[in-house]
Amino acid sequence: MTLVYTHPMTTRVTRAAGHDHVLAGIGMMLTGLFVFACNDALGKWLVSTYAVGQLLLIRGAAGLVFLAPFLRRADWHAFRHPPRPGIQLLRPIFATLEVACFYWALAYMSLADVMTFYLAGPIYVTAMSPFLLGEHVGWRRWLAVLAGFGGVMIALGPTAGTLSVPALIAIAGSFLFSLLMVCTRLVRGTSDLYLVTTQTVGALVFGLVTAPFVWVPLHLRDTLLLMLLGVTAMVAHMCINRALKLAPASVVVPYQYTTIFWAILLGYIFFGDIPRVAMLIGAAIIIAAGIYIFVRERKAAKALSLIEPP
């Protein structure tokens, strides 16, 4: 989850200080993305033994323990009266289901393959934004959306025989991820702590409901690793949110595509996965389309701000 926050600039802020903030923001973004990649690799290793529900149960419980000190200092009025409560309810549902699909697909597919499909999430958001967000999408961005969909089809593979159930689960998860991003845009005024907490609670509830039916006895080492899964996810969220507060989103957001590099590297080191040529080509097209859409959206937002009266 990421929310864009723009720092107010005053005449007393020096150019050097601003440059340092940008570098620190880039560093925090890269750190958060690397931690997320390690979290995903650990999740792939654990999901080969434990069911998704069990994994989310312990991950969610560990996440809440990690958040406890922050929740004690939280403004509970904001928790009791969040904006747009209906969207706030849908958001953790989408968040939980997309994470469940992600881990489910990881049990059968390489880390790089699953990550490639999830990189298409922002492209789906652009395709849905005229209908769900009331945003105008010009013909250039529509062409980029079509190119992104083409990248997804290439990543799936050139033959119908490669269209496996795990691949469909990964695509469904990436679509749910895009719905999560749409919901996040609709409640962008909500505090980061509230959004992260509701996502964590959603995963915990999902685990409580499903884990008893698929429970596998835990070893101490695996219990600690499952707990680490929840803690590293919280740390990654905080790094990315901090990055967006230190530097402009236009600078740090494109770095999200470095996750495919880490997915390929970690997948090869820990699981012996060798990336398919079709996946690499599809990922390149998806990344190019996603960056182009992001740049066009920034230009459109800047043009709108110049037209609208202050």
Average pLDDT over residues 147-167: 78
For 162-205, the pLDDT digits (tens) are 568 898 999 999 999 999 988 988 887 788 888 889 999 999 99
The residue segments making up the domain with residue 32 are 16-307
Question: For residue 75, what pLDDT is reported?
Answer: 75
In whole numbers, what is the pLDDT of the chain averaged over residues?
85
Radius of gyration from C-alpha coordinates of the chain: 20
Task: Give the residue from 173, 178, 170, 196 showing the smallest Cα distance to 92.
Answer: 196
Does residue 136 or residue 90 have the better pLDDT? 90
Determine the pLDDT at residue 135.
81
- Asked if residue 3 is part of any domain, the answer here is no
Q: Helix axis angle, 165-186 relative to 121-132, nearest 10°? A: 50
The token duo for 300 is 């459109």
Mean pLDDT on 43-53: 93
Q: What distances in angstroms separate CA 278 from CA 143, 160, 289, 290, 298, one per listed residue?
A: 21, 14, 16, 18, 30
List pLDDT tens digits, range 116-141.
999 998 899 889 988 888 888 888 88
155 found inside a domain: yes
Tokens of 93: 């549902």
pLDDT at site 304: 57
Residue 8 lies in a domain: no
For the stretch 287-310, pLDDT in tens is 999 999 888 887 776 765 555 555
Number of domains in the chain: 1
Q: What is the mean pLDDT of residues 70-95?
A: 86
Residue 1 inside a domain? The answer is no
Residue recorded with tokens 């939980």: 96
Residue 9 lies in a domain: no
pLDDT (tens digit, 9 = 90+) per residue, 262-277?
999 999 999 999 998 9
Tokens found for residue 46: 């654990």
